[in-house]
Amino acid sequence: MTENFTGSFTQQEPIPEDAIEAALAVLRHGRLHRYNVAEGELGETALLEQEFAAQMGAKYCLAVASGGYAMATSLRAVGVQPGDAVLTNAFTLAPVPGAIASVGGKPVFVGVTEDLTIDLDDLEAKLPLARVLMLSHMRGHLCDMDRLMQMCDAAGVVVIEDCAHTMGAAWRGQASGRQGAIGCYSCQTYKHVNSGEGGLLVTDDEDLAAKATMLSGSYMLYERHLAAPDPEVFERVKYTTPNVSGRMDNLRAAILRPQLRDLDRQVERWNERYVEIETGLRGTPGLSVVERPEAETYVGSSIQFLLLDWAPEQIAEVIRRCAARGVELKWFGGAEPAGFTSRYDSWRYAESAPMPASDRVLASIMDMRVPLTFSLEDCQLIARIIRAEVGAVFQS
Ligand SMILES: *Cc1c(COP(=O)(O)O)cnc(C)c1O
């Protein structure tokens, strides 16, 4: 009998009851705008910022409308001007080059290794081309952050981290997003906490924090923030920083606060699932699992494996056969982007030279979400299906 999987790869868990209660309280009083607070009241958004800053060990935090907005705001805050080159990953998702393009910047793509991290040799060669790196920890894979920061610091390149897939992850025990000048997170439904849409950024730099806050649309109400720099810092930037509204609201913040308190537990649950799948896949002929560095604490909310140097028709056959058994694999090597699988040469508004070594890796990447609605048995079944179908095609 062939086993099939019947679960949904896009179904996240419901919003926890305490978050629903907190949301209802906001709806009942009606003060959804972050600056609409009663006398003496600390709004949900300001509290969220205070708590997230503490959780990440950061001095400052700003909550905004989306992860993409957090990245664009960071680029503006560090002073990227129209026409400026910004280094970024060739392997990432569309909002990353999109954030660079939104401020008129020109993405300069840096290659990807078989570890699915940024190619540090390629980065080293390209560092002289730009003064900012938008580093995307794509699918939660952290590169050697010690070497990266050493190189960027030496070259005077400012690092902004896209932590859409590393909220809850760490490098040598330090939260992901705390190595660079600014860390950006997404609270969108498919990430590690779910407010539908939403973003957070953290930094220890008071000028960047004040600029980002002004940019997000704080009018002159920045004193209502609990994780922002002192008013004197705002005095320096308040007349020269434009308002590009993109605030977080109290309803989303109310939903997020209980979820963030639960983040470590959720990370454990993701990793239990990840390990089941990885263990089931390891040793499959023709398939490479992605080894994780010892210094990395990861969040297994998705899993990748490589079918290196396979013919495209064979990969398409694996995808077809897995799909027929209910297992949805995404492929970054398809001729056309499907869903979220676009890559550097899909973003035609940004010039790029061909990167053959990266193309070889991109052509081999199979990607799968691991929602927490999957049981451990589901994960074992999924691994068995992939193993069988990869094996069947590999032998043919
Ligand atoms: C989701 C995502 C973002 C942007 O987040 P939004 O909240 O959707 O704007 C940025 N980078 C990566 C890699 C993402 O997956």
For residue 42, the domain's CATH number is: 3.40.640.10
Domain extent for 235: 17-261
Q: Are 118 and 251 in the same domain?
A: yes
Which of 235, 261, 287 is the C-terminal boundary of a domain? 261
**Cβ 43 vs Cβ 251: under 8 Å:** no
Task: Give CA–CA dist 49/292, Å, rounded.
Answer: 31
Instruction: Give the nearest ligand 1 atom to 162 CA.
Output: 11
Residue 287 beta carbon below 6 angstroms from any ligand 1 atom:
no
Q: What is the DSSP string of 246-280?
A: -B--HHHHHHHHHHHHTHHHHHHHHHHHHHHHHHH
Averaged pLDDT score across all residues of the chain: 97
Tell me the per-residue pLDDT of 216-245, one tens digit each, with 9 for 90 and over: 999 889 999 999 999 999 999 999 999 999
Residue 70 beta carbon below 6 angstroms from any ligand 1 atom:
no
The answer to the question of residue 334 being in a domain is: yes
pLDDT at position 135 over 80: yes
The alpha carbon of 60 and the centre of ligand 1 are apart by a number of angstroms equal to 21
Which of 261, 294, 329 is the C-terminal boundary of a domain? 261
Q: Are 117 and 235 in the same domain?
A: yes
Burial class (CB in 10 A: 0-12, 13-18, 19+), 149: middle
Which of 202, 227, 261 is the C-terminal boundary of a domain? 261
Q: Are 209 and 248 in the same domain?
A: yes
Q: Is the dihedral of CA 159, 160, 162, 167 positive or negative?
A: positive
pLDDT at 267: 98
The answer to the question of residue 316 being in a domain is: yes
Tell me the per-residue pLDDT of 196-222, one tens digit each, with 9 for 90 and over: 999 999 999 999 999 999 999 998 899
pTM over 0.75: yes
Task: Give CA–CA dist 155/130, Å, rounded.
Answer: 10
Q: Are 93 and 240 in the same domain?
A: yes
CA 223 to chain centre: 29
Q: Which whole number is the average pLDDT over 176-199?
A: 98
pLDDT at 385: 98
Q: Which whole number is the average pLDDT over 326-332?
A: 95
The answer to the question of residue 343 being in a domain is: yes
- State how many domains the chain has: 2
Residue 164 beta carbon below 6 angstroms from any ligand 1 atom:
yes
Q: Are 241 and 273 in the same domain?
A: no
Q: Are 234 and 341 in the same domain?
A: no
Q: Are 97 and 227 in the same domain?
A: yes
The alpha carbon of 239 and the centre of ligand 1 are apart by a number of angstroms equal to 30
The answer to the question of residue 3 being in a domain is: no
Task: Give CA–CA dist 204/60, Å, rounded.
Answer: 6
Which residue of 74, 93, 141, 344 sits with most ligand 1 atoms within 8 Å of its CB, as the best mutation to test the pocket? 93
pLDDT at 338: 82
pLDDT at position 1 over 80: no
Residue 22 beta carbon below 6 angstroms from any ligand 1 atom:
no
